[in-house]
Structure 1
């Protein structure tokens, strides 16, 4: 490799975000934690879970809890349609699926185009908002995936695990 050549910074996965729509707003999650995007499937209801957990799906033998991002954010529920999708995240523990209105695109948002979300944090807990990513005239609300799912305690009965 030529020592005078620099690594192309546009290939930095840390600056890549999968953007999606929820109630007309653009949100983004780090592409590195996204394992796949799937269409809506039959959801099996699970008792005694937070209201924003719609249940679980069986995705090729893996049981995946589904979080409706609208409900998680306190936005009124909307009937699922042909654009509704599940974004499956792998955060190191068990995978979790985010139900969103529609997937937009994968965007590169360099750190210098992200306004930090320190003003969104309350003093007693972390904010689910990592920052605001500027893409031309658009702004995407970039989420901290770990905070988003941190209070999700979905105990899946052993009998459901594949």
Structure 2
């Protein structure tokens, strides 16, 4: 039986990435971020999202691919990861797509310098590759605690 998953596709630089749609609560335009001192470089601060304090992380910087330049297309993906609501800053959110799970391949040992623990799989689309991220591994234990402290304060 063929199975499929729905993913939200987005860009970091020119590379397409995806995360399962069930992890995405919303897609927001870039908004002012309140910086929080003494946090990791990729943790940009917090945003007030409809009354809920949400940490904002630069996903490009977290994956060690540079720093996201804020432009008209820049978006904040509001996601749940590690039982927290977090905003992931990306270059652009492109679309929602359905991927055939049979088309997903295991991640190669090294993909664009990104640790393969972050990667759920790679889908070979007609025009390029889509890297499916595993949100549970984007933050390590220390970083999860750091983000939790931001929410609790």
TM-score in terms of structure 1 length: 0.81
Call closer, same or farther: CA 1:158–1:141 in 2, change over 3 Å.
closer
Q: 1:156, CA displacement in angstroms?
A: 1.5
Call closer, same or farther: CA 1:157–1:60 in 2, change over 3 Å.
closer
CA contact (8 A) 1:120 1:127 kept: no
- In the alignment of these two chains, the number of paired residues is 146
Call closer, same or farther: CA 1:118–1:74 in 2, change over 3 Å.
closer
Q: 1:58, CA displacement in angstroms?
A: 0.4
| 1:90 match | 80
State the 4+ residue runs in structure 1 displaced beyond 4 angstroms. Answer: none
Q: 1:120, CA displacement in angstroms?
A: 4.2
Q: Quote the Cα distance in structure 1 between the aligned partners of 2:98 and 2:30.
A: 27
CA RMSD of aligned residues (A): 2.2
| 1:113 match | 103
For residue 109 of structure 2, give the secondary structure of its aligned residue in structure 1: helix
Deviations 1:64-112 (A, max 9, x none): 1011011111122242011000000023622001000001111111111
Q: 1:47, CA displacement in angstroms?
A: 1.4
Q: Which structure: larger Rg?
A: 1
Which structure has greater strand proportion?
A: 2
| 1:45 match | 35
Q: Quote the Cα distance in structure 2 between the aligned partners of 1:61 and 1:149.
A: 24
Q: 1:126, CA displacement in angstroms?
A: 6.3
| 2:52 match | 62
| 2:150 match | 156
| 2:132 match | 142
- Which 5+ residue runs of structure 2 have no aligned equivalent? none
| 2:91 aligned residue (98, 101, 106) | 101
For residue 117 of structure 2, give the secondary structure of its aligned residue in structure 1: coil
CA contact (8 A) 1:87 1:98 kept: yes
CA contact (8 A) 1:27 1:142 kept: yes
